[in-house]
Amino acid sequence: MEMTRADYYRALMAHDPRFDGLFFICVKTTGIYCRPICPTHVPKLENCTFVATAAEAEKAGYRPCLRCRPELAPAVREANDSPAHLLCQQIEDTLLMDETLEGVAAAYGLSERHLRRLFVESYGVDPKQYLTTRRLLFAKQLLQDTNLSISDVAYSAGFNTPGRLTINMRAAYGFTPERFRRGLARPATNYLTLRADYRPPFDWTGLLALLADRATPLESIDDNMYRRTIDGYVITVINVPERHHLRVQVPIELSRQSHAIVGHVRQLFDLDANPCAIEAALSEDPLLAVLFQKYPGLRVPGAWDGFELLLRVIIGQQISVAGATTLMRRLVERIGVTPEAIRAATPGDIAAIGLPAKRAATIHEVGRRVIAGELSLSEGHPGRFYDQLVAIPGIGPWTAEYLRLRVLHWPDALPAGDLGIQKALTIDGRRPTERQVTQQALRWRPWRSYATMLLWRSLSNQGG
Residues annotated as part of the active site: 34, 418
* CA proximity to 321, closest of 210, 195, 176: 210
Peptide bond into 382 cis (omega under 30): no
Q: How many residues does the chain have?
A: 464
Phi first, then psi, for residue 291 (nearest 5°) are -65, -35
Alpha helical stretches, state H, 108-186: 112-123, 127-145, 150-156, 162-173, 177-181
Q: How far is residue 51's CA from residue 59's CA, in Å, rounded to a whole number?
A: 11
- Do residues 217 and 157 make contact, with C-beta atoms less than 8 angstroms apart? no
Strands 191-197 and 245-251, by their bridges, are antiparallel
CA-to-CA separations, 151 to 157, 164, 177, in angstroms, rounded: 10, 10, 10
Strands 225-230 and 191-197, by their bridges, are unpaired
Q: Specify the DSSP element, H or E, that contains 124.
A: none
Q: Write the DSSP symbol of residue 36.
A: T
* CA proximity to 419, closest of 432, 404, 402, 436: 432
Q: How far is residue 293's CA from residue 310's CA, in Å, rounded to a whole number?
A: 32
Phi first, then psi, for residue 431 (nearest 5°) are -85, 130
How many angstroms separate the most distant Cα atoms in the chain? 71
